[in-house]
Structure 1
Amino acid sequence: MRKLILLSLAAFFSVLCLRNAVAEPQQPGRDTQFIVPAGPGGSLDIVARKLQELLLKKKLVSSFVVLNKPGAGAQLALNVLDQNLGNPNFLMTLPTAIINNSYLGVIKTTYKNYTPIAMLLDGYIGVLVRSDSPFKTAKDLIDQLKKDPDSLNIAIAASLGNDIHVGVAKALMLAGVDISKLTFVPFKSSGVSITNLIGGNVDVVGATTPTIIPALQTGKVRVLAIGSPERLKGPLSNVPTWKELGIDTITSSPQGVLAPKGITPEQVKFWESNFRQVTETQEWHDFLEQNQWAPRFMGASQTVDMLASETKSIEEVLDKLHLKKQ
């Protein structure tokens, strides 16, 4: 009888411990996996690895592993978050391309099914031509496209309807071009787009600043306009903004951080605080300047509001491009 009582007590305490373990929220910052919805070496990957470096350097986390999950319009990366509901140690790069891909039907979910943590930076989209192009200014290009919208091939990476496509099209739309008649040609990467520009296979390229800078330094391309709110520094300091040219738009490719659905407000605050600390370091600002990115830290609630605003703007352009849900 005594043995039976002891066994019953042992079983009771085992169940109690299990319940407590389940009820106890997981501690963020332990064995964290940061999922990048792109391959190694691209802008999303570069940012993720800088975050890893600084979080570990400042001892804000005990472990932070970057994992690349490219493909399917970020769906493969989002699947990891779906498989880890409520777990604060699974994070992902938040590109606004998720909005585009949701509208286009490339992915079957939206950012609303996850937990936005923070927005970190803005990468600006520029328009390039060859250095020997007859288009010396953005006005030259716009005048040609107004007259004959399908006369030029415009290269983008890496898919129709993405942030670069929308960024280029939005500026041209506001300039009076019929963007539904433009010819956009997708390439695997912006690097490949620029190679085809230099080789004469396309006439114009849309790309973000980290890719533009090394291309510009070759002397083989010219940047006609950039989508920043004011002129950038360094090698892009002579490039006019769309705003300077009388076209009131900012064309950017923001990056932030996304977590699974179901994490607690305290866990959101943990990550929001840590990413804020990272983005306040001199190393982070030097990193952004090197790539001509702009700091854009927003906390969780601000990020949600920003994504709602971006959704409206992106869907308007995609509709004008006649890109509908699949």
Structure 2
Amino acid sequence: MLSRTRKSAYAIAALTVMLSGAATAQDADITGTVDCIAPAGPGGGWDFTCRSLGQIIGGATDHQVNVQTKNMPGAGGGVGFAHIITKRGDDPKVIAAASTATTARLAQGQFPGMTADMVRWVGAIGADPGIIAVKKDSPYTSLDQLLAALKEDPASVTFAGASAVGGWDHLKILMTAHEAGVKNLNKIKYLSYNNGGSAVTQVIGGHIDALVGVVSSSQGFIESGDLRPLAVLNDKRLAPPLDEIPTSTELGLDVEASNWRGFYMPKGVSDAEYEWWVSTLRQASETDEWRKIMKQNGLVPFERYGKDFDAFVNDQVAKLNQVSREVGLIQE
């Protein structure tokens, strides 16, 4: 049995540890102006992500934090990524916008000398889900039928998307086909268009067999009946009226191909500072204001934070790297 004196000593020690932890958390409180690096020019997706954070963070910080967006275009996001690493390496008052385009470029080595583990991944708060669709009278009535055609002849189906060859829309169908066991992925035909609307028009007009895009640019055509959705590349079904579209997960494919919106920060910040941002971003994403912004911009909830988000990012980079190598987008 412990003596009363020793019990008291242990109690005092435990209380000291608790108070020390509380002080550390308090020391991590961030106030005043913080920078959000949008690694592209005004008007794009990363700019939208930073400016949205500026709109919603006040309610999560009792209006103690003001976010100013700093546009830093160049190298497809590489200039902003390098800035965080080399100029702000331990600064807790800077955060940077990221998306699936970020992980795709990291996977393909497009940020020379830089890797995903050189920053800390804070969280993702929304996404534009990927989708595969065909015109209303297409002979393909299910994703299984389309994938079966690719397995028999990977060049038998032509896809339209809004990204460049090797970009995110192209990678969506490559990831899906890879997961389904399609061989010779480099033979899959993909044509790039200036935007999602142009790609949809080509499919509806019967010029291209299938669309690989996002929900936001195809929802109206699905609701009108001009497009037949085969799958949403997500682990959760969409909200009505699109809730009848099967997910890739339901179809037995481990493919998450949403264009998520998220953030990373410098590697050298303390754990307490990192956790402050994780907690604050989570609170901000739960506000009615953010839900309104998502609805207005065709986004759906996509919430991953802290270690969970870090694991997700690294897994996505690994998968995209593997697919990119198989189709020759990365030269050995």
**Into which bin does the TM-score normalised by the smaller protein fall?**
0.7 to 0.9
Q: Per-residue displacement from partner, 1:158-213 (whole Å, max 9, x unpaired)? A: 23334433332222223232322101223343333224334444322211222232
Cα distance in structure 1, aligned partners of 2:320 and 2:132: 18
Partner SS state of residue 235, structure 1? coil
Counterparts of residues 4-19 of structure 1 (less than 5 Å): none
Query: Residue in 2 aligned with 1:308?
Result: 314
Matched length: 301
Is 1:65 the counterpart of 2:74? The answer is: no
Cα distance in structure 2, aligned partners of 1:260 and 1:232: 34
Task: Mark the runs of 5 or more structure 1 residues left unpaired by the alignment.
Answer: 1-24
Q: Per-residue displacement from partner, 1:234-263 (whole Å, max 9, x unpaired)? A: 232121122333434433333321113433
Equivalent position amino acid for 2:54 in 1: Q
Q: CA deviation at 1:150?
A: 1.5
CA contact (8 A) 2:107 2:318 kept: no
CA contact (8 A) 1:35 1:68 kept: yes
2:159 to 141, 151, 154: 154
Task: Mark the runs of 5 or more structure 2 residues left unpaired by the alignment.
Answer: 1-26
Query: Residue in 1 aligned with 2:188?
Result: 182
Query: Residue in 2 aligned with 1:126?
Result: 131
Q: 1:57 to 1:228 in 2, by over 3 A?
A: same
1:298 to 283, 301, 305: 305
1:52 to 51, 54, 59: 54
CA contact (8 A) 1:103 1:324 kept: no
Structure 1 residue runs of 4+, over 6 Å off? Answer: none
1:270 to 258, 276, 284: 276
1:91 to 83, 95, 107: 95
Q: 1:276 to 1:134 in 2, by over 3 A?
A: same
Kindly, what percent of the aligned residue pairs are identical?
Answer: 25
Q: 1:113 to 1:209 in 2, by over 3 A?
A: same
Counterparts of residues 1-326 of structure 1 (less than 5 Å): 28-38=30-40, 43-58=45-60, 59-81=62-84, 82-108=86-112, 109-178=114-183, 179-288=185-294, 291-299=298-306, 301-325=307-331
Cα distance in structure 1, aligned partners of 2:136 and 2:43: 27
Q: CA deviation at 1:226?
A: 0.9
Instruction: State the TM-score, normalized to the length of structure 2.
Output: 0.77
Query: Residue in 1 aligned with 2:13?
Result: none
Cα distance in structure 1, aligned partners of 2:53 and 2:285: 9
Q: 1:56 to 1:168 in 2, by over 3 A?
A: same
Query: Residue in 1 aligned with 2:4?
Result: none
CA contact (8 A) 1:60 1:274 kept: no
- Alpha-carbon RMSD: 3.0
Equivalent position amino acid for 1:277 in 2: Q
Q: 1:127 to 1:41 in 2, by over 3 A?
A: farther
